[in-house]
Amino acid sequence: MKKDDHYLLGSLLKTSGIKGEIVLKFNNDCQEEIQKLESIFIDVDNKLVPFFIEEIRIKSIRTAVVKLEGLDNEIKSAEFIGSEFYISNDRAKQLNIESEEFIEVIGYQVYNQDNELIGEVIELVDIPDNPLLSVKTEKGEVLLPAKDELILEIDDEMSIIKLSVSEGLIDIN
């Protein structure tokens, strides 16, 4: 199966319990829609492998615990941690899952408007209408606003984000 025919819905974050359950992290807010799914496709060695969903429990806006058929213990499930999961583009349209999602920016280098390195993104804190980047700097961790109007440039090939940062903002964090 081709990835081009599928919608990247998120990644497998960690195992949960000893019965093989896995915590899914979604790229967008779709907890209602995810409960309607019967299966997902997991990227295994750059190939999409189908897994049927036995049970799903919503944990938060962007996470759920899922029990997949055939993964009945923590050891089997652990093999897939960190993998991305997909649904077909057709199924995404049927469920009205929006493609307006945050790109995965953990590990990106953050620069200010003067091309000075601020640090590396360690987390995207998804607060509605006020997303923040948690950035590791030489002096510690800072939270920077990630609103569209403050993002000057995102270079996915170079893993760089350029932000318009107010003078002194990093010092007060």
Among residues 146, 114, 141, the alpha carbon closest in space to that of 127 is found at: 146
pLDDT at 101: 46
**Residue 167, burial from CB neighbour count under 10 angstroms (0-12, 13-18, 19+):** exposed
Q: Are 50 and 61 in contact (CB under 8 A)?
A: no
**Cα distance between residue 15 and residue 28, in whole Å:** 20
Is the domain defined by 3-94 classed in CATH 2.40.30.60? yes
Backbone angles phi, psi at 170, to 5 degrees: -70, -35
The domain at 109-172 falls in which architecture? Roll (2.30)
C-alpha distances out from residue 149 to 6, 94, 163, 166, Å: 30, 32, 9, 13
pLDDT at 103: 56
Strands 109-111 and 160-163: parallel
Give the pLDDT confidence of 136-172 residue by residue, as tens digits: 998 889 999 888 788 898 887 889 999 998 877 776 5
pTM of structure: 0.56
Q: Where are the domains of the chain?
A: 3-94, 109-172
Give every residue of the chain whose pLDDT is below 70, as ranges.
1-2, 29, 31, 97-103, 128, 171-173
pLDDT at 14: 92
Alpha helices in the chain (DSSP H): 31-34, 74-78, 89-94, 169-172
pLDDT at 172: 56
Beta bridge partners of 117: 111
Residues comprising the chain, all counted? 173
Give the pLDDT confidence of 119-128 residue by residue, as tens digits: 999 888 777 6
pLDDT at 34: 77
